[in-house]
Structure 1
Amino acid sequence: MENEPASAPKTGVSAEPTAARAARYLPGFHVLAKPIGPICNLDCTYCFYLHKEKLFPKGERFRMSDETLENFIRQYIESQSVPEVNFAWQGGEPTLLGVPFFQKVVELQKKYAQPRQTISNALQTNGVLLDDEWGRFLKEHDVLVGLSIDGPRELHDKYRVDKGGRPTFDRVMAGLRILQKHGVRVNSLTCVNRLTGNHGGEVYRFLRDEAGLEHLQFIPIVEERTFEEQAPGVRSGDVGGQDPLRLVTPWTVEPRQFGRFLCNVFDEWVRHDVGRVFVQHFEVTLALTMGLPSPLCIFSKTCGKATAIEHDGTLYACDHFVYEPFRLGNVNREHLRDLLIGRPQIAFGTDKFAKLPRCCRQCEFLELCYGECPKNRILKTPDGEPGLNYLCAGLKIFFRHVTPVMGLMARELSAGRPAVNVMHALQASEQASAAGKPLRPRRPPAPPAPTIPAPAAAERSSRNAA
């Protein structure tokens, strides 16, 4: 992705009537709201957003004004043509705004909701400020919470510290218990870095057993050393994949390490937890194996439908591309709908596939990956072509490991049988093998899969990423 406004794709989009463009590109779009901008009460080492203060004038008041909040909520609802409109709130740390701010959010949503239209909310938080007042509010309004937690104490506290460098594990766990006490729906958002990347099984078991969580998202930390100054991938890399680590920060997960992490989690999940624990990477891979659309933008053929709005009303192409060249406009001066279907944003989305290197187009896993997220395309291919994904080697390890089992799960589901059958067959086969009995194939050993959510629902959940 070049560090310049995207050029129009070769689709004739500039000549396409506005109504036709809206019908073609608006369905399924999503805006991640950052009403407090980059302001946070923690100082996580790997955070890609804290430095965004530099985008704004010194002394900026990082709080979305009532006018901007109302303009955003009204325009967001007006731009949607679906029966359920989901808002996602992130930061920075949005709970710093307090419960009254989000009470105002709910009031405005009720004011502008269309007949027979449902409004829902998701909130990403580090959990440190959660108390009973928050618990009651989140439960009352059925807010889905994405909680950032990186695993057991010694893994979590390595990088997730407060402004004084103090550990945060105990405070995060206290926040989690508040949410569970009040019956709030919770997804875990776990960053996989160079430390946690070696502990896939341990992290998974902690989240399942000690934290008591059932919906898990694993986010690979990939940051170029220059991420504070330039948008990701702007140079398209200066190495051919053989030495990627010198381009990234010391806490960035290694490519193959991330692949092994996912494989370790998968091996635990497929033997014990199909149907009761839901891991986003596995759900998406199963959906794609069945020929369904990707519920997650990074594994879709195109992207551009997951934008980000800052506290001042400025809309950006993506929350990983909050850099000046990817600024689309401001909802206080232009309607959100017009920004979403403008040439720059459509080109940003179609470039995801249009700029794939030749080796990616010829890859056996193309339709499971589509080059993953453009922000991670910072390498050159062995042939010198720019745009190879930093995580490519690890993703291949993961796809190669799970594809046989995913195929069996897809076959079960397509036949109208529960995917959990695969887990049971795998358990029976392994038990028979351990007992020295001849294996009689009943059904192919394969992991069952969680219920595949509707694409919009999964996309909403996925955008709650740290």
Structure 2
Amino acid sequence: MLANPDFGDAPLQFVMKLASICNLNCSYCYVYNKGDETWKQRPPFMTVDVIEAVIDRILRHVERSGQRKVRIIFHGGEPCLIGADAFDLVCQRLRWALREVGHVHLSLQTNGTTLDDEWAAVLRKHGIYVGLSIDGDKPIHDRHRVTHGGRGSFDRIVRGLECLRRGDVGYDLMTVIPLGEDGARIYHSLAALDPRSINFLLPDYTHDDIAAVRASHGPTPCADFLIPAFDAWWNEGQIDLRVGLFWSIARLVMGAESDVDLLGNQPLRYVFVETDGEIQPLDVLRVCGHGFNATSLNVMHNDFSDLARDGGMAAEAVFRGMPVSGACHGCREQRTCAGGYLPHRFSRERGFDNASVWCADLYALFGHVRHRLGVSEAETRERRMTLAQQAAA
């Protein structure tokens, strides 16, 4: 028995890292280029035994939690390196094992360089939604997202996108903010690729390595990019094109709870499984140091609920949510932003008891969205109370 069953049996999302290797060497990658080298100790691909164990543990957890919706995300490294045939078999096995669950949502996060018509057919067959990483137009993208030989990857990704379109496979675009670039121009270049949504990602830094970024780009480089991007999206009436960060901030300003891990300090509610079966919390925490997010848990021996028993930061982050930093107390956006993305709060000196390294950027962006929506802090509080009362009724 768990010491706290309600704690350990909470509904979860599951991230399967099918590959620990990648065919790109992106300059900012948190897996390979931020100091953590644990990937070198893992098998390049998830073995059949580990895949079967993951599926079994997912089924066990779903039965305990009672959740009728299960989201499984295929990740890496670059998951498409396992090949379309092997991926097809993994999906078939998952669909069969979870056939009694109400709704199973499968998605794939990929760099898109290996996508072809065969891949598109498999993705459509299993109803898989694709998140594709691309950093804007060709010159900017090819500056950061390069092969191990230093060649740009933009043209290969565009060919992959064309295969997804021909195969009628839906896709989002994931873009790490290129600091110092024109946000409106990058937004337009991404929108021209006809995605269902765009997700701008704040670059992954901690308080221990952000100083050089500020020295090069000023105090609010993310806001300097995002505010023009927001205005381009807002002023051109493209609300049907969902821009994840903007939607999430607007949602919070209007009184709702956060639906992303970047904002709101909600429990993460997802777990990662490495190629060797190790169970981990948020993958990006590896930017905090080599082996930072390692655990002693493995799907070959442990259920996902064992994270609750394991205690420590992983259990708190996944199931309960970390305390908001004292630095955020009294801030207008304490309840909405709530300190920002967990890895961005870290310092060796204070752990996670910091506001985000992008605090000033988030504050400026929240203020801009409030201005556009015409919603004050007081109105946000009133809306939140009303929504809570309606939910409780």
TM-score band (shorter)?
A: 0.7 to 0.9
User: Could you tell me how far 1:222 is from its partner in structure 2?
Assistant: 2.7
Q: Distance in 1 between matches of 2:220 and 2:39?
A: 37
Q: Does residue 390 of structure 1 match 2:350? A: no
Q: Does residue 370 of structure 1 match 2:338? A: yes
Q: Does residue 155 of structure 1 match 2:140? A: yes
Q: Does residue 222 of structure 1 match 2:201? A: no
Match of 1:201 among 153, 168, 184: 184
Correspondence list, 1:212-251, <5 A? 212-223=194-205, 237=208, 244-246=210-212
Matched pairs, number:
369
User: Could you tell me how far 1:354 is from its partner in structure 2?
Assistant: 2.1
CA RMSD of superposed structures (Å): 3.1
> What letter is aligned with 1:399?
F
Q: Does residue 269 of structure 1 match 2:233? A: yes
User: Could you tell me how far 1:118 is from its partner in structure 2?
Assistant: 2.2
Name the SS of the counterpart of 1:62 in structure 2.
coil
Give the corresponding residue for 1:43: 25
Give the corresponding residue for 1:361: 329
Give the corresponding residue for 1:435: none
Q: Distance in 2 between matches of 1:65 and 1:138?
A: 21
- Cα 1:275–1:158 shift into 2, 3 Å: same
- Cα 1:369–1:177 shift into 2, 3 Å: same
Task: Give the unaligned 5+ runs of structure 1.
Answer: 1-14, 225-232, 239-243, 416-466
User: Could you tell me how far 1:353 is from its partner in structure 2?
Assistant: 4.5
- Cα 1:166–1:326 shift into 2, 3 Å: closer
Name the SS of the counterpart of 1:216 in structure 2.
strand
Give the corresponding residue for 2:390: none
Contact 2:30 2:204 (C-alpha < 8 Å) held by counterparts: no
Q: Distance in 2 between matches of 1:112 and 1:46?
A: 37
- Cα 1:255–1:185 shift into 2, 3 Å: farther
User: Could you tell me how far 1:124 is from its partner in structure 2?
Assistant: 0.8
> What letter is aligned with 1:372?
G
Give the corresponding residue for 2:4: 18
Match of 1:258 among 222, 225, 236: 222
TM (normalized to structure 2)?
Answer: 0.85
Give a deviation string over 1:98-127, Cα, whole Å, max 9, x none: 012212212221332152522221111111
- Cα 1:245–1:336 shift into 2, 3 Å: same
Give the corresponding residue for 1:172: 157
Name the SS of the counterpart of 2:136 in structure 1.
coil
Correspondence list, 1:46-65, <5 A? 46-50=28-32, 54-55=37-38, 61-65=43-47
Give a deviation string over 1:345-368, Cα, whole Å, max 9, x none: 3333588542502x3121001122
User: Could you tell me how far 1:377 is from its partner in structure 2?
Assistant: 1.7
Q: Distance in 1 between matches of 2:321 and 2:8?
A: 20
User: Could you tell me how far 1:47 is from its partner in structure 2?
Assistant: 1.0
- Cα 1:367–1:56 shift into 2, 3 Å: closer
Q: Distance in 1 between matches of 2:240 and 2:343?
A: 32
Q: Does residue 137 of structure 1 match 2:122? A: yes
Name the SS of the counterpart of 1:46 in structure 2.
coil
Q: Distance in 2 between matches of 1:402 and 1:304?
A: 25
- Cα 1:36–1:250 shift into 2, 3 Å: farther
Give the corresponding residue for 1:184: 169
TM (normalized to structure 1)?
Answer: 0.72
Contact 1:89 1:123 (C-alpha < 8 Å) held by counterparts: yes
Q: Distance in 2 between matches of 1:338 and 1:282?
A: 35
> What letter is aligned with 2:164?
L
Q: Distance in 1 between matches of 2:76 and 2:333?
A: 34
- Cα 1:167–1:16 shift into 2, 3 Å: closer
> What letter is aligned with 1:392?
C
Task: Give the unaligned 5+ runs of structure 2.
Answer: 384-393
- Cα 1:32–1:407 shift into 2, 3 Å: farther
Correspondence list, 1:79-98, <5 A? 79-80=61-62, 81-98=66-83
- Cα 1:113–1:353 shift into 2, 3 Å: closer
Q: Distance in 1 between matches of 2:106 and 2:338?
A: 29
User: Could you tell me how far 1:198 is from its partner in structure 2?
Assistant: 2.2
Give the corresponding residue for 2:315: 346
- Cα 1:315–1:30 shift into 2, 3 Å: same
Q: Distance in 2 between matches of 1:93 and 1:273?
A: 35
Contact 2:140 2:178 (C-alpha < 8 Å) held by counterparts: no
> What letter is aligned with 1:91?
G
Contact 1:48 1:223 (C-alpha < 8 Å) held by counterparts: no
Give the corresponding residue for 1:280: 244
> What letter is aligned with 1:110?
R
Q: Distance in 1 between matches of 2:168 and 2:191?
A: 17
User: Based on CA coordinates, which of the two structures has the bigger radius of gyration?
Assistant: 1
- Cα 1:310–1:349 shift into 2, 3 Å: closer
Contact 2:3 2:309 (C-alpha < 8 Å) held by counterparts: no
